[in-house]
Structure 1
Amino acid sequence: MKIINWALIFIVIILPFSIRNHLQSIEQEHTQEQIVLYDGAVRAAVQDAAFSLRLNEDQKMESRYESGKKIRANKERAIEAFYQTLFNNVGIGEDEVAQGVLKRYIPVLAVVDYDGLWIYTSDSFMNKDGEKENRQVWRSKMPFAYADNLGNSVSFTLDDYVYAYDAGDKQWFEGKREDVAAQVNYGIPILNDPDKFDQIRRTTIIDVVQSNLEHYINSYNQYARSLGIGYTFTLPRIDQEEWNNTIDDVGVLSFIQGMPIGSNYYNNYALGGSRLVKRTAIYGYIRDGVKIYYRESDHYGGTIIEKFTSEREAALAGYFPGTR
């Protein structure tokens, strides 16, 4: 058999595999680009949402409390900011159909308020026309409540302010831990030990957040199935350090799960505290003829060519992340 014939046979056998591998490589590259895009969009969305928690219509509410953590959380503004930033950053700011599709993969949004947890998730009800309707609504606020074996109960906050019920006196007290401890006649043991108080306070708040998130994410599966989504939504594993950071301040938690990207599913969550949010400037430079960008905190010594509000904005302008 002539060499040309062997070559043709080789091409016929190898070419399909080569094409398939090339297409898979392209798909993987596109998938990775989408993941990076959504990671940045989710982070930006939850940061904007957390920042918006402090934006009250009545500016007097901003500083009326003694505690820096005790704010009047503007949860409606936060949700609006979350979706607006998310949609704009993934390029569907004007596409209501695409927005509706993306929302299907967001089982819950949560606001950790000063004295309780708010959950924003889908619910079914009958509208004024007697038709069944499903839309996202706020669930009732869940307090950070604790009860001891003596019948006493304490509602915690994100600091040492408490709402306590003395079972012996059958009275409610309110104030800082040490002040309430001095007022109750029969005593509430955990109020007398600052270290134990803080340990139980943190554990209680995390338990309230975890249990409610798990409940509402699991409950979302029934609605998801009615939309034809076969993915099973579950509370992702979040390490203890992140949970502790979550309850240090009023903030927002968001979850995106089961969204098809290529042959994979996109799953992510983001946590953002209202006082921890700072919009870091992104600076663009030219180095060796290449457009690069650095965060303001990196203190790169070149001449600033352009300034951006996000890394995505810099990337869209043709800049690449700089390295030392």
Structure 2
Amino acid sequence: MKMINWAIVGVLILLPFYVINRTDTETQRRMMISELRYDAALDTAVDDAAQALLINVDQRQEARYESAKRVRVNKEEAIDSFYRTLYMNFGIAEDTIAQGVLNRYIPAVIVIGYDGFWVYAEEEFANAAGETEIRPVWGPKKPYAYADTLGNSVSFTLDDYVTAYEAGSRTWREGFRSEIQITTAIPLLRDAEVFEQVRRSTIVNAIQNELAFRINRHNQYASRYGISYTFTLPTISDEEWNNTVNDVGVMAFVQGIPMGRKTYNNYALGGSRVLKKPVIIGAVKEGKKVYYRSACAFPYPVEETFASEKEASQKGYMPLPCSNDP
């Protein structure tokens, strides 16, 4: 067989593989673009919702508590802002049918308050006409509650302000832990380090448990709409969970949106007072790798940026303090 014939045979054999590979590459590119667009839409919606938490709320009512974190929240304004921004960024601001479809992939939105949290999720109930209806509603406020083996109970907040019941004396204590620790027999309130660990874990566990319950309930409702995707509790890093107990804010979850051969799953967290963490700059100073916050004005050549100081340290950068650091 002549060389030209072998070449033709080779082309005929390899052409289908080339076409398939090119098609797969284009599909993956489109999926990546869609994923980035969805990420941006969700992040923006949550940030707008977090900002809206403080709209039309009189914070002077909380001044007596002497806590910067104790702020009143407007969860109705926040949820309206969340969906309004989400619909706009998905390009369905005027399409109520598409909005209803998108809503099926949002198992829960959580508003994190100073002394408790609320979940906005679908519930089944009988309306005024006696008909069964399923639609998202606010659940009751869930406190950050803890009880020890001695019968003492503590209601935590986003700082060290507590409301505690002392079982031994059958009395209530209220105030900052540092102020009431010498007047109470509750062991937890007398150890600052253990108190902080238990406070954070209690808040995180309360939110996780409620979220797991809501997602399981959402699976029951989703199956009625013909959605075969199984919603699950998302894997969230310890660092992200710790961010939820630092300030009032909003968490939203989107799961199962069909995207080619995969599904879109993501969550977003926004704080009402500090929406974005400062960017950490990795630079070179006199041949040494250093990092500093973006608010610092240093002239050193920028090598890379990081989301946290921990991430910069892991890459071998050393901290460089500046006058703007607290």
TM-score normalized by the length of structure 2 = 0.79
Aligned residues: 283
Code of the residue aligned with 1:34 in structure 2: it is S
Distance 2:277 2:150 in 1: 48
> Which residue of structure 2 aligns with residue 128 of structure 1?
128
Distance 1:273 1:142 in 2: 19
Cα distance change, pair 20–63 in 1 and its aligned pair in 2 (3 A): farther
> Which residue of structure 2 aligns with residue 103 of structure 1?
103
Code of the residue aligned with 2:85 in structure 1: it is T
Mapped contact 2:62–2:72 kept (Cα < 8 A): yes
> Which residue of structure 1 aligns with residue 163 of structure 2?
163
Shift of residue 69, structure 1, vs aligned partner: 0.7
Distance 1:278 1:10 in 2: 55
Mapped contact 1:249–1:275 kept (Cα < 8 A): yes
> Which residue of structure 2 aligns with residue 276 of structure 1?
274
Mapped contact 1:164–1:174 kept (Cα < 8 A): yes
Code of the residue aligned with 1:42 in structure 2: it is L
Q: Give the percent of matched residue pairs that are identical in Structure 1 and Structure 2.
A: 52
2:13 is aligned with 1:27: no
Distance 1:278 1:65 in 2: 26
Match of 2:193 among 192, 195, 214: 195
Match of 2:221 among 223, 229, 237: 223
Mapped contact 2:59–2:72 kept (Cα < 8 A): no
Mapped contact 1:123–1:137 kept (Cα < 8 A): yes
Mapped contact 1:54–1:62 kept (Cα < 8 A): no
Distance 1:76 1:64 in 2: 25
Shift of residue 61, structure 1, vs aligned partner: 4.8
Match of 2:252 among 238, 251, 254: 254
Distance 2:205 2:162 in 1: 17
Structure 1 runs not aligned, ≥5 long: 281-295, 300-324
Cα distance change, pair 74–65 in 1 and its aligned pair in 2 (3 A): farther
Distance 2:114 2:93 in 1: 32
SS in 2 for 1:216: helix
> Which residue of structure 1 aligns with residue 67 of structure 2?
67
Shift of residue 278, structure 1, vs aligned partner: 5.4
TM-score normalized by the length of structure 1 = 0.79
Code of the residue aligned with 1:171 in structure 2: it is T
Mapped contact 2:120–2:136 kept (Cα < 8 A): yes
> Which residue of structure 1 aligns with residue 115 of structure 2?
115
Code of the residue aligned with 1:72 in structure 2: it is R
Q: Deviations over 1:38-97 (max 9, x none)?
A: 011111111111111122344645866521110111111111111111111121111111
Shift of residue 10, structure 1, vs aligned partner: 6.6
| RMSD, aligned CA | 2.7
Code of the residue aligned with 1:270 in structure 2: it is A
Structure 2 runs not aligned, ≥5 long: 279-293, 298-326
Distance 2:64 2:44 in 1: 29
Distance 1:39 1:268 in 2: 7
Cα distance change, pair 193–7 in 1 and its aligned pair in 2 (3 A): closer
Distance 1:53 1:243 in 2: 20
> Which residue of structure 2 aligns with residue 46 of structure 1?
46
SS in 2 for 1:248: coil
Runs of 4+ aligned residues of structure 1 deviating over 6 Å after TM superposition are 1-12, 296-299
Mapped contact 2:249–2:269 kept (Cα < 8 A): yes
